């Protein structure tokens, strides 16, 4: 096998949500593969450590403060990327989550469906679906211009109907299912130059604000076949594969990364 097919040398990747747990895993993976890395995230103070980590791994990297639910801010992110590196080869849409814990992003609350407001229900879509749609739409013309590109959306096993005993994430699960479907349509509308795939993470241990309680983590490893919960690097590795030439015949798929949960 030609292992150079996994290299991202000379290519530029934009990672939305790049300063968070899964995002940092993606930053590390792409930096080690030789890519120019754009850490697109909020809040602003979370970005420099991620950029510094990418640079410590030998990558050229910049940080951009951006709310990826805002088209104007996304356009500014794209312009900054092109100014720094001249091209966009890959986009990893990490931004989103099962509840809004970032005050700089759209807010919504978790609750069972009968207790959930319409605004909170739609908020899950703004934070997870609209963001992936807008960021992808903004980079596609630039990928088309160079004749090649790859996009990876981050969905969730919650969108694969794998969490029936977690009723408070129903809105999140349906939003992530929409991300899975959106991936298929992107792949077919933007072919043949651009491949679009999706990762559906399972239980991933990522940093949370002080005081955050995650009761599901205590028993998670017991139900996962590999005997542990996932970490950001597990998703980063999958994202790197899907964006690399090694995955040149992988398109329009949702890849579960859950350790056999």
The CATH number assigned to the domain holding 131 equals: 3.40.50.720
3-state secondary structure of 232: helix
Separation CA 255–CA 261 (nearest Å): 14
Residue 136 has pLDDT above 70, yes or no: yes
Structural domain count of the chain: 1
Domain that holds residue 111: 3-257
Secondary structure class of 230 (helix, strand, coil): strand
pLDDT at residue 172 in the model: 92
Is 33's pLDDT higher than 80? Answer: yes
What is the three-state SS of 59-79? Answer: CCEEEEECCCCCHHHHHHHHH
Confidence of residue 39 (pLDDT cuts 50, 70, 90): very high
Catalytic residue list: 172
Specify the range with the lowest mean pLDDT, choosing from 38-42, 118-122, 137-141, 251-255: 118-122
What is the structure's pLDDT at 209? 57
Note the pLDDT of residue 168.
84
Looking at residues 177-205, what average pLDDT do you find?
A: 97
Q: What's the whole-model pTM score? A: 0.94
- State how far Cα 93 lies from the chain centre: 3
pLDDT at site 208:
64
Q: What DSSP string describes 165-226? A: T-GGGHHHHHHHHHHHHHHHHHHHHSTTTEEEEEEEE-SB-----TT---THHHHHHHHSTT
| Residues near 143 by beta carbon (within 8 Å), at least 6 away in sequence | 88, 89, 149, 193, 194
Give the rounded percent of residues in the chain with a pLDDT score beyond 70.
91
Question: According to the model, what pLDDT value does residue 101 have?
Answer: 58
Asked whether residue 167 carries a pLDDT value surpassing 90, the answer given is no
pLDDT of residue 103: 65
99 or 157, which is more confident: 157
Give the pair of three-digit tokens for residue 175. Answer: 């939003």
- What pLDDT does residue 204 have? 94
Least Cα distance to 37 among 94, 74, 116, 92 occurs for 92
- What average pLDDT does this structure show over 222-251? 96
User: 193 with 147: CB under 8 angstroms?
Assistant: yes
């Amino acid at each position: 096998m030609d292992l150079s097919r996994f290299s991202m040398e000379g290519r530029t990747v934009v990672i939305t949500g790049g300063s968070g747990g899964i995002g940092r895993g993606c930053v590390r993976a792409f930096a080690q593969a030789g890519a120019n890395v754009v850490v697109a995230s909020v809040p602003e103070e979370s970005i420099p450590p991620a950029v510094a980590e990418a640079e410590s791994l030998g990558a050229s990297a910049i940080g951009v403060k951006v709310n990826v639910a805002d088209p104007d801010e996304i356009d500014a992110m794209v312009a900054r990327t092109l100014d720094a590196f001249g091209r966009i080869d890959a986009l990893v849409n990490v931004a989103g989550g099962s509840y809004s814990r970032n005050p700089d992003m759209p807010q919504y609350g978790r609750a069972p469906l009968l207790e959930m407001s319409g605004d909170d229900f739609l908020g899950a879509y703004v934070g997870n679906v609209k963001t992936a749609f807008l960021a992808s739409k903004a980079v596609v013309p630039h990928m088309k211009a160079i004749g090649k590109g790859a996009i990876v959306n981050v969905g969730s096993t919650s969108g694969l109907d794998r969490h029936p005993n977690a009723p408070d994430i129903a809105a999140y699960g349906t939003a992530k299912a929409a991300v899975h479907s959106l991936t298929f349509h992107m792949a077919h509308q933007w072919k043949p130059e651009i491949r679009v795939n999706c990762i559906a993470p399972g239980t991933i241990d990522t940093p949370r604000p002080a005081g955050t309680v995650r009761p599901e983590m205590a028993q998670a490893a017991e139900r996962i076949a590999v005997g542990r919960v996932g970490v950001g690097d597990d998703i980063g590795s999958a994202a790197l594969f899907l964006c690399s030439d090694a995955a040149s015949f992988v398109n329009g798929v949702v890849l579960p990364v859950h350790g056999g949960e």
